[in-house]
Structure 1
Amino acid sequence: MSTSKLIVANWKMNGGLSANQLLLDDIKAGWGAVHCRVGVCVPYPYLTQVQLLLAGTPIALGAQDVSIHATGAYTGEVSGSMLRDFGVRYCLVGHSERRQYHRESEVDVALKARQALACGITPIVCVGETLAQREAGETDSVVKRQLAAVIHENGHCISEIVVAYEPVWAIGTGRTATPDQAQAVHAVLRAQLKAATPQHERVAILYGGSMNTGNAADLLSQPDVDGGLIGGASLKANDFLEILHKASHEALANPMK
């Protein structure tokens, strides 16, 4: 497990030139004693703007998707090398909304992770179960199958990824996995990574199901929760800063976790 917490914002399809600047200016102004790694995944049109706004800060730029193709006649697609040109450090792959609305398969997600890795970009591989799957007792098998596809395709460099557990039933619904529920799934994923690579401790496992100011501290205190993938709360500077400070406090309070 990573030595410092990683908190990544996912703006989803939100933002605007003026709104982005205001949000990031407020975050930079309230930065203070942040002692965790931070990334911001923004929509493609704002990569240039946000790259400039983040220059000179410790905040890493992230994208929300990447093509499975390196180049070619794929209108509307964006390649890993294009993202690299903008200094992108992280890229989400397999977010539940992409799996659901764009019918992305486990193979698609694995290939996207491969393209990101080939371009020196850290893929944040999202895994998670639906409410029906959880109620059927299938949570462990679902997340293991989703991660297994990525391990199979990228086994030689699997220690270079980040994993985000995002229970589909808790995304944008106001529902959140309890700390014990989150820890149980994270422990399953950690064991799977341990079996795949001796460098499994390099892989951060984030929780991504409606983490907010009210539950962040309890979730981040779990032994296998290495950070958070933050949706709605990342669009409010004060909320995002509070989560960053709670992550920093947890890292300082438990430096050996």
Structure 2
Amino acid sequence: MFKTQAESEEFLRGFLPHLEETPEEREVLLCPPFTDLSVLSKYLHGSRIQLGAQNVHWEENGAYTGEISGPMLTEIGVRFVIVGHSERRQYFGETDETVNLRLKAAQKSGLTPILCVGETKEQRDAGQTESLIIGQLEKGLVNVDQDNLVIAYEPIWAIGTGDTCEVTEANRVIGLIRSQLTNANVSIQYGGSVKPNNIDEIMAQPEIDGVLVGGASLEAESFARIVNYK
């Protein structure tokens, strides 16, 4: 929940010039708040940056005050949507069952969902990392098309806590995630305190296809360094 429309436009003015040095095959996606989507869709038209939303409801319309539907997003050029982010699960009661509904609704509307999975510090300390993540995948991916899917591993315990998830451990867990899928070519990202000073090491890991960036994406220079990792 950062950036007004004016602040988002200011960010882009500082960020877009950095894309001149970004390899063509590298995908760049921005997922701003709902209020920014329409203006950024127009601003980014014709650029290489794709647009994503931070959530989607499982119905196309109805008495769901405060929610956003798939058709509302695709109408303004949104192509991706984050589903099951740890903050949605922690603060707003998202469950594996509602995550599954949102994933299927996103795909039905032509969106590519980014499914977030990950464990808390308590769950990791209890040795539940593997079983929890496998459970999130089994429940979340029921009747979901894995040919139109991105997955992001979020070690919740390593986000804004000062604790660090070693890149080899992130790579191990992402390998575990891949082993649970019917489509081994699903893009699997890492999202846990990704910063300019660790992006090169993260992206050197063989199982990690990309990153889901939080706070480090709010400043143009910082995000540009991550996008232009070596």
TM-score tier by shorter-chain length is over 0.9
Which residue is 2:15 aligned to? Answer: 27
Residues 191-243 of structure 1 show CA distances to partners (whole Å, capped at 9, x for unaligned) of: 011xx23xx21x11000011000111111111110000001111011111101
Q: Does 1:103 align with 2:56?
A: no
Q: Which amino acid aligns with 1:215?
A: N
- Tell me which of the two structures has the higher relative contact order, counting C-alpha pairs closer than 8 angstroms and 6 or more residues apart: 1
The alignment partner of 2:222 has SS state of helix
Match of 2:104?
114
- Structure 1 equivalent of residue 67 of structure 2: 77
Structure with a larger share of its residues in helix: 1
What one-letter code is carried by the residue in structure 1 that aligns with 2:51?
L
Match of 1:173 in 2: 161
The reply to whether residue 214 of structure 1 matches residue 197 of structure 2 is: yes
Alignment partner of 1:230: what SS? coil
Equivalent residue letter for 1:51 = S
Which of 136, 139, 142 is the equivalent residue of 1:152?
A: 142
Q: Which runs of 5+ in 2 are unaligned?
A: none
RMSD, matched Cα: 1.1
Tell me the CA shift for residue 55 of structure 1: 1.2
Q: Tell me, what secondary structure is at the counterpart of 1:107?
A: helix
Identify which of 230, 235, 238 aligns with 2:221. 238
Indicate if the aligned counterparts of 1:233 and 1:239 stay in contact, CA closer than 8 A. yes
The answer to whether the Cα contact below 8 Å between 1:175 and 1:210 also exists between their aligned partners in 2 is no
TM-score, normalised with respect to structure 2 = 0.96
2:151 aligned residue (163, 167, 174): 163
The number of equivalent residue pairs is 228
Kindly provide the amino acid, as one letter, of the partner of residue 151 in structure 1. L
Assess if the C-alpha contact under 8 Å between 1:173 and 1:210 holds in 2.
Answer: no
Q: What is the alpha-carbon distance in structure 1 between the residues aligned to residue 95 and residue 143 of structure 2?
A: 13
Match of 2:133 among 129, 143, 148: 143
Q: Displacement, 1:56? A: 1.5
Identity in percent? 41
Output one character per residue of 1:25-46: Cα deviation in whole Å (capped at 9) or x when no partner: 1111221221210100011111
Contact 1:162-1:205 within 8 A present in 2 as well: yes
Shift of 1:176: 2.9
Match status 1:63 vs 2:53: yes
User: For 1:48, which of 38, 41, 52 is the aligned residue?
Assistant: 38
The whole-number CA distance in structure 2 between the counterparts of 1:158 and 1:150 is: 11
In structure 2, the partner of 1:92 is 82
Q: Any idea what SS the aligned residue of 2:8 has?
A: helix
| TM-score between the two structures when normalised by the length of structure 1 | 0.86
Unaligned stretches of 5+ residues in structure 1 = 1-12, 250-257
The 3-state SS of whatever aligns with 1:152 is coil
Deviation at 1:90, TM superposition (A): 0.8
Q: Deviations over 1:129-183 (max 9, x none)?
A: 00011111111111111111122231xx122110000011112234331111101
Corresponding position of 1:184: 172
CA contact (8 A) 1:84 1:121 kept: yes
- C-alpha separation in 2, matches of 1:95 and 1:185: 17
